Structures are given as C-alpha cells and as structure tokens.
Chains A and B, each alone.
Chain A
C-alpha cells in the first residue's frame, strides 16, 4: 500500500511573531528582519501571468503610495521563479502602464509558503491561495486574511485594517464594524463595577456601560 506523507506546518496565528525567512526576491535576497521597524504586508498570489492575480497586482500598485504614507511596505509571493516574476511585472507595465514597485518572493522551495500556511491543498497542492499577513514593526502578525483562488482581494479593506490597527496602537481604542478613519472609536470596556459607573459620567456616547464611543 502506498504511504502518503504530507508536510504539516503549524499555521501562524494573530499575535504571534511572524515566521522568520530569507528568500530570493525580485529586489534581491531579503530577510523578514530587513523589514523590522516598518509595517509589512506579506501577500501571496497563486501564479504569475494569471488574470485575477494581474488585477490584484495592479490594485496593490495603486494603493502602494497610500501604504507608504502609513509606513507600510509590501512584499508579494508565489511559487514561481524570479525570471517568471520579472517577466510578468515587465509585461504588466508594458500592457497596462502600471509599474510594480514592491519586491516579490520567488518561493520555488515553498519554504515561506509552508511556514505561513499559504498552501491549502483543498484549493491547490502547488499554488498559494490569496493570503494577506499584516505584520507590525515589531514583526508580530496583526491580521491574517485568506481568500480563495477565484476571489480577488479588496484593497479598501486592506487599507482600512491598516488604519484601524495604527489607530488602535496610537490611541488604545478599538474600532467598530465598518469603521473608517474619522468615525467614532470604541472605548475599551470597563473591568470593574466602579469603572462601569464612572464610564457613564465621562461624556462618551454610550449605548450602555459596555459600549461607549468617542471622537478622536
């Protein structure tokens, strides 16, 4: 009977250090630690020269200036070679006029893909699904998004998450559903009865003691 072996890697989780790596990219050999001190969005795509991925790369290039304003770097990844990545980004620029300004990991060995749980065999055994890892300046994973092969990512949501995380870090608050910069933020809920009673007197907009919002 044929023995089937499968490499099982523990999936990374929010709040944990991002798995370290050293990888060949279109901008040379890069290590995760090279990004220390800046926010990083590490994202994977299934393959070069494919339609949905091409629309996503154009969209990532379009939000790149906004990400830079927020101190965020972008790093793409797929299980393709550097030559394929270079040919693809040149083709995208030639056909659409959009220059891809960020590096792309050529993860032929799948080392990074496996460390980050980017290969979902139920979707494809050879391609990475559409993952987004938002990693903070201390190299802690702060957000993980997974999209299937057939669904292109929403750049507005990625920017919104970056804004929300940076707002949380700066002001020690949370952000409610569908929050956008400028909207009211959620004040952390009180931990004691005394704090709950005080909370209602602090001038916040409160639905009840556990749900209070304020303007920044």
Chain B
C-alpha cells in the first residue's frame, strides 16, 4: 500500500493526508490542497487509510479516526 506500511504505520504521504485531516472533516479535493498531493493520490490514499482504520468516511468527506489521531500525535 502506498499510504500505509506493512507494519500499519502511515507512510510520508499517508501522514501528510492525516495531518490535513487534523482540522476536521474534509473532501478529497480539500485534503489534496492542504497536503500538497495530487488528487488521484489522495483518493486512493483515503481508501487505504480508511481500510486501515486510520480515517473514517462520512458521505463525501473524511475525518481522522481515533487510531489515526493517536498515530500522528
């Protein structure tokens, strides 16, 4: 996975996305802008982060999960 390492920790790009979610719910477009990553990377990365339990999807938006919040402390 590109955003989550085999040990379950976020990669550099995964961490950028999680940090972009620190301020609250965001759409992939908003997260891409904040994280400075291409939109396609953010869309695929958010799928991975959600599957890994580091982010939650709420409709069209995403937010940090408790596990994600702990990891970037």
Interface-lining segment among A8-16, A33-41, A86-94, A171-179: A33-41
Write the B30-50 contact mask toward A (1 if CB under 8 angstroms, else 0): 000000001111011101100
Contact size class for A? 10 to 19
A27→B2 contact, CB < 8 A: yes
Note all chain B residues with C-beta closer than 8 A to A29.
1-2, 44, 47-48
Note all chain A residues with C-beta closer than 8 A to B47.
29
A70 at interface by CB-CB < 8 Å = no
Report the nearest A residue to B47, measured CB to CB: A29
Interface size on B, residues (CB 8 A): 12
A28 at interface by CB-CB < 8 Å = yes
Note all chain B residues with C-beta closer than 8 A to A28.
1-3, 41, 44-45, 48
A34→B43 contact, CB < 8 A: yes
In the assembled complex, how far is the CB of residue B69 from the closest CB belonging to chain A, in whole angstroms? 23
Write the A31-51 contact mask toward B (1 if CB under 8 angstroms, else 0): 101110110000000000000
Note all chain A residues with C-beta closer than 8 A to B48.
28-29
Note all chain B residues with C-beta closer than 8 A to A31.
43-44
In the assembled complex, how far is the CB of residue A23 from the closest CB belonging to chain B, in whole angstroms? 11
The SS class assigned to the B binding surface is helix
In the assembled complex, how far is the CB of residue A20 from the closest CB belonging to chain B, in whole angstroms? 14
A38→B44 contact, CB < 8 A: no
A30 to B47, CA, bound (A): 10
In the assembled complex, how far is the CB of residue B37 from the closest CB belonging to chain A, in whole angstroms? 10
Note all chain A residues with C-beta closer than 8 A to B43.
31, 33-34
Q: Knowing A27-B2, A28-B1, A28-B2 touch, does A73 contact B44 (C-beta < 8 A)? A: no
B3→A30 contact, CB < 8 A: no
Note all chain A residues with C-beta closer than 8 A to B38.
73
A30 to B41, CA, bound (A): 8
5 A-B contact pairs sorted by A residue (CB < 8 Å): A28-B44, A30-B40, A31-B44, A73-B38, A73-B40
Could you tell me which B residues sit within 8 Å of A by CB distance? 1-3, 38-41, 43-45, 47-48
Extra A-B contacts (7), CB below 8 Å, given A29-B1, A29-B2, A35-B39: A27-B2, A30-B44, A34-B43, A34-B44, A38-B39, A73-B38, A73-B40
